[in-house]
A and B are shown apart, each in its own frame.
Chain A
Amino acid sequence: MATARGEEFVIASGSDQVPERLAAALEPRFTVVRETRRRARQVWLDTFDGRLHAAGLTLRQVAGAGSGELVLSTSAGTDVACEPLGTTRWPRLLDVIPAGPLRDRLEPVVEIRALLPLARAEGTLTELRVLNRQQKTVARITVDAASLLRPVPAVLPTRLVIAPVRGYQTAAERAGQLLTVADGFAPSRHPAFESVLKLTGQPPGGAADIGEITLSPAMPARVALAGILLRLANTITANVSFVIGDVDIEFLHDLRVAVRRTRSALKLAGDALPGGIAARFAPEFKWLGDLTTPTRDLDVYLTGFDQMAAGLSAASPGDLEPFRAHLATRRLTEHRRLVRGLRSARFTGLMADWRSALEAAARPSAGPEPDVGSLAADRIARAHRRVVRLGSALTRTGAGHGPSGTDLHSLRKKCKELRYLLEFFGSLYDPPAYRRAVKNLKGLQDCLGEFQDGEVQREAIRRFAMQMLARRGPAGAGRQATVPPTTAELAATLLAMGELTAQLHARQLRGRAEVADRFAQFTRAGILRTLGITGGTARS
């Protein structure tokens, strides 16, 4: 049932009398029969970070009166899959698409991200058939005359697609050749989506891609750091409305990463900014980070819930359902609290003041100042030293029971600081060397993360268990929106949660056992040597 999308043409003089002009162009070899003409709305979709576009795919919904379909095609215009889907309010997660080949094709690319409308158009779709001398349909023609409504109003070029009926490729090609030589039909080299992109002026994912700052070693450290922080501020701002709308969980994740990087930049290099900016804003960004933590933690639990439940051996995954219900209820509450915070005067004031302070800091000034090359080399070397010192101490004492959880947590934090510094100043270094340095550090970070995540999750499970018990008490009973579990159900759930903590503990032990090896690999790799940092200066 595969259908080739066929050849595309742009109709020079618009959509007037197209069937008649087509008939004139194709006779006497073919006749043209008009099938249907209908109003249609078109929506082009992609994730906020443009995953489909990056994967060379275009997703379009065409909807008319009471019906519609989603069509996935390649950037070259070949249809990959389609699925009926009527008028839909976007953005939506992938589960809005019925299970089938289209969703199967989208899932590995889109993952947990929502599909957002990139552009909307409205117009008419005219369907025609091309018949051979035996009056057999050999090709289908669709004429698409539409105007872009959003993000910018504009008239789109009228397009025509001639698609062969299966088994009649040669006849359809001949019809295409006749159109090529006819007046007013120009073969289109680019799919319709490119015309849309030209008009919108922004590629999919453009809003998410705040852009890397390219630094040069001689740039004043103050200007460079302000530029880095402004970029992070843009990321925070770009994600806020989607976090408030709860569009998908990655918006909050991206916002949190930008906040965490901002805090690290202030801590590790804030002294390069003038006028006590770092001291003034650091507590506010700590508040912002803390505000987002509970919702994010619950997102992580709920997303990985099925996998976690599938790992149970003594308990049954069903035993954990009251736990899932508890997490979902908590998330609703925490998300409401987060939204209140992001809509507060404190947050809007923080972002406005922060931006003004950074813009002021980024202004050029006369006179010599410290350069970013030296600052980067100095801070990376210092952070590296801290990792090496702490890691060596921990792995030396690791012969007995191994390093404690607190020590490993400290080492993880030092590694994170080094990682952020590498990312901030990455553009100062040779790209392959930079990638090697990050890869080496990441190996150690992954292993420490495995340990620390287990620690945090075990602690959280204990906390959730206490909350679930407390909810059954007389104080909480009156406020419950859902039916509380019975004593037997709660007992089964708590036992299953106990098994989860045991699994997490086993995972932690595995992570801890690996730390020494990973740390040895990290020190052998010599990040400073890789980057050419000697004596606290960057290679230009």
Chain B
Amino acid sequence: MRVIATYNIKGGVGKTSAAVNLAYLSATGGYRTLLWDLDPQAAASYVFRVKPRVKGGAKALIRGARPLDDAIKGTDFERLDLLPADFTYRNMDLALNQAKRPTRQLSRLLGPLADEYDVVFLDCPPSISLVSENILHAVHVLLVPLIPTTLSERTFDQLTSFIEDLSGRRPEVLAFFSLVDRRKRLHRDITTRLPAGRSDIATAIIPAMTLVEQMSVRRAPVPAFAPRSAATRHYQELWAELRARARLR
């Protein structure tokens, strides 16, 4: 089982869109896939029409009073399941802090799912917190959407140095440019300059597209309702790179 998190300290950068579309492509590609919506805003749960509610909330999951397995819901798509968000996830830091080895709790919770899933996607809330630290310890690949701006570049550098300072196993980092607008010179400059000589930035980019915004209206992943669109092709290219990085057969 390979664990992949879509993560950025900033919000509104395309984390959920990436998690939803890539998880869908993973499942249609034959991998048994789970998407855990860790963001209390519950956007991924909304897209899949699953009620954002977990009995007992974050506390019950972390204490083990309710196994992760029990809270999982099937989506409308074969091989793709969802662990929905819950509003109590906003207090997940508190629950984690009360547990033993607070930075390793997500790893522990995901352990029993190893036989059931080939790929787990974590759609993470935008923050840098105890939850983030848990995620960094639990994942094999950290997928970071970057809007091509100078500030994003700075934030990405902060994130990579934070990961370098981590003890124990460190995840692989793969950033990709998201919400790219080719009409903007800054976007063109950064998407050309920044990846040069770096292996931690994907070649594939995700442009800003109306079709991606349509996901919340159609309540389905883009490749499901627009399989031949340019947006789908961009996500397929990103999935191909991510799959190789995650060493998925």
Query: Residues of A at under 8 Å CB distance from B?
Result: 1-2, 84, 129, 134-137, 165-168
Q: Which residues of chain A are within 8 angstroms of B81 by Cβ–Cβ distance?
A: 1, 166
Q: Which residues of chain B are within 8 angstroms of A135 by Cβ–Cβ distance?
A: 49, 219
Taking the complex as formed, is B9 at the interface, i.e. its CB lies under 8 A from any CB of chain A?
no
Question: Within B21-54, which residues are at the interface with A (CB < 8 Å)?
Answer: 30, 32, 34, 49-50
CB nearest to A138 among chain B residues: B74
Could you give 14 example pairs across A and B, Cβ below 8 Å? A1-B32, A1-B34, A1-B79, A1-B81, A2-B116, A84-B30, A136-B76, A137-B76, A166-B72, A166-B73, A166-B74, A167-B50, A167-B71, A168-B74
Picked from B74, B116, B117, the residue with its CB within 8 Å of the CB of A167 is B74
CA distance A4 to B81 in the complex (A): 14
Q: Which residues of chain B are within 8 angstroms of A1 by Cβ–Cβ distance?
A: 32, 34, 79, 81, 116-117
CA distance A129 to B76 in the complex (A): 9
How many Å from the CB of B97 to the closest CB on chain A? 29
Q: Which residues of chain B are within 8 angstroms of A167 by Cβ–Cβ distance?
A: 50, 71-74
Q: Which residues of chain B are within 8 angstroms of A129 by Cβ–Cβ distance?
A: 76
CB nearest to A139 among chain B residues: B74
By DSSP majority rule, is chain B's interface helix, strand, loop, or mixed? Answer: loop
How many Å from the CB of B117 to the closest CB on chain A? 6
CA distance A18 to B117 in the complex (A): 34
CA distance A13 to B32 in the complex (A): 37
User: Are A168 and B73 CB-contacts (below 8 A) given A1-B32, A135-B49?
Assistant: yes
How many Å from the CB of A138 to the closest CB on chain B? 9
CA distance A135 to B30 in the complex (A): 25
Q: Which residues of chain A are within 8 angstroms of B34 by Cβ–Cβ distance?
A: 1
Q: Do A134 and B74 touch across chains, with their CB atoms under 8 A apart?
A: no
How many Å from the CB of B116 to the closest CB on chain A? 5
Q: Do B32 and A136 touch across chains, with their CB atoms under 8 A apart?
A: no
CB nearest to B81 among chain A residues: A166
CA distance A129 to B78 in the complex (A): 11
How many Å from the CB of A162 to the closest CB on chain B? 14
Since A135-B49, A137-B74, A167-B71 are in contact, a sample of 14 more A-B pairs with Cβ atoms closer than 8 Å, ordered by chain A residue number, is A1-B34, A1-B117, A84-B30, A129-B76, A135-B219, A137-B75, A137-B76, A165-B73, A165-B74, A165-B75, A166-B73, A166-B81, A167-B73, A167-B74
CA distance A137 to B75 in the complex (A): 7
CA distance A462 to B131 in the complex (A): 69
CA distance A413 to B191 in the complex (A): 84
Question: Within B65-93, which residues are at the interface with A (CB < 8 Å)?
Answer: 71-76, 79, 81
Q: Which residues of chain A are within 8 angstroms of B72 by Cβ–Cβ distance?
A: 166-167
Q: Do A136 and B50 touch across chains, with their CB atoms under 8 A apart?
A: yes
CA distance A157 to B79 in the complex (A): 29
Q: Which residues of chain A are within 8 angstroms of B76 by Cβ–Cβ distance?
A: 129, 136-137, 165
Q: Which residues of chain B are within 8 angstroms of A166 by Cβ–Cβ distance?
A: 72-74, 81
How many Å from the CB of B229 to the closest CB on chain A? 21
**Which 10 A-B residue pairs are closest in the complex by CB-CB distance?**
A167-B73, A165-B74, A166-B74, A136-B49, A137-B76, A1-B32, A1-B116, A134-B49, A166-B81, A167-B74
How many Å from the CB of B149 to the closest CB on chain A? 37
How many Å from the CB of A168 to the closest CB on chain B? 7
How many Å from the CB of A16 to the closest CB on chain B? 27
How many Å from the CB of A71 to the closest CB on chain B? 14
CA distance A165 to B48 in the complex (A): 13
CB nearest to B70 among chain A residues: A167
CB nearest to A33 among chain B residues: B76
Q: Which residues of chain B are within 8 angstroms of A84 by Cβ–Cβ distance?
A: 30
Q: Which residues of chain A are within 8 angstroms of B71 by Cβ–Cβ distance?
A: 167
CA distance A135 to B220 in the complex (A): 11
How many Å from the CB of B220 to the closest CB on chain A? 10
Q: Which residues of chain A are within 8 angstroms of B50 by Cβ–Cβ distance?
A: 136, 167
Q: Which residues of chain A are within 8 angstroms of B117 by Cβ–Cβ distance?
A: 1
CB nearest to B32 among chain A residues: A1
How many Å from the CB of B44 to the closest CB on chain A? 14
Q: Which residues of chain A are within 8 angstroms of B75 by Cβ–Cβ distance?
A: 137, 165
Q: Which residues of chain A are within 8 angstroms of B74 by Cβ–Cβ distance?
A: 137, 165-168
CA distance A165 to B50 in the complex (A): 12
CA distance A1 to B75 in the complex (A): 11
Q: Which residues of chain B are within 8 angstroms of A134 by Cβ–Cβ distance?
A: 49
CA distance A168 to B74 in the complex (A): 8
CA distance A135 to B218 in the complex (A): 11
CA distance A135 to B116 in the complex (A): 27
Contact with A along B206-221 (1 / 0, CB 8 A): 0000000000000100
Q: Which residues of chain A are within 8 angstroms of B79 by Cβ–Cβ distance?
A: 1
CA distance A166 to B81 in the complex (A): 8
How many Å from the CB of B136 to the closest CB on chain A? 26
How many Å from the CB of B207 to the closest CB on chain A? 29
How many Å from the CB of A176 to the closest CB on chain B? 17
Q: Which residues of chain A are within 8 angstroms of B32 by Cβ–Cβ distance?
A: 1
CA distance A84 to B79 in the complex (A): 13
CA distance A165 to B82 in the complex (A): 11
How many Å from the CB of A343 to the closest CB on chain B? 45
CA distance A168 to B34 in the complex (A): 16
Question: Within B110-157, which residues are at the interface with A (CB < 8 Å)?
Answer: 116-117
CA distance A134 to B71 in the complex (A): 19
CA distance A134 to B51 in the complex (A): 10
**Which of A2, A137, A167 has most chain B Cβ within 10 Å?**
A167
Q: Which residues of chain A are within 8 angstroms of B219 by Cβ–Cβ distance?
A: 135
Q: Which residues of chain A are within 8 angstroms of B73 by Cβ–Cβ distance?
A: 165-168
CA distance A168 to B76 in the complex (A): 11
**Which of A2, A129, A136, A137 has most chain B Cβ within 10 Å?**
A136
CA distance A338 to B223 in the complex (A): 58
CB nearest to B69 among chain A residues: A2
CA distance A129 to B74 in the complex (A): 13
CB nearest to B30 among chain A residues: A84
CA distance A129 to B220 in the complex (A): 15
How many Å from the CB of B70 to the closest CB on chain A? 9
CB nearest to B116 among chain A residues: A1
Q: Which residues of chain A are within 8 angstroms of B116 by Cβ–Cβ distance?
A: 1-2
How many Å from the CB of B130 to the closest CB on chain A? 28
CA distance A168 to B117 in the complex (A): 19
CA distance A129 to B50 in the complex (A): 16
CB nearest to A2 among chain B residues: B116
**Which of A1, A129, A165, A168 has most chain B Cβ within 10 Å?**
A1
CA distance A165 to B71 in the complex (A): 13
CA distance A2 to B113 in the complex (A): 11
How many Å from the CB of A99 to the closest CB on chain B? 12
CB nearest to A136 among chain B residues: B49
Q: Which residues of chain B are within 8 angstroms of A165 by Cβ–Cβ distance?
A: 73-76
CA distance A136 to B75 in the complex (A): 8
CB nearest to A1 among chain B residues: B32
CA distance A137 to B76 in the complex (A): 5
How many Å from the CB of A81 to the closest CB on chain B? 12
CA distance A168 to B73 in the complex (A): 7
CA distance A1 to B50 in the complex (A): 17
How many Å from the CB of B43 to the closest CB on chain A? 16
How many Å from the CB of B46 to the closest CB on chain A? 11
How many Å from the CB of A33 to the closest CB on chain B? 10
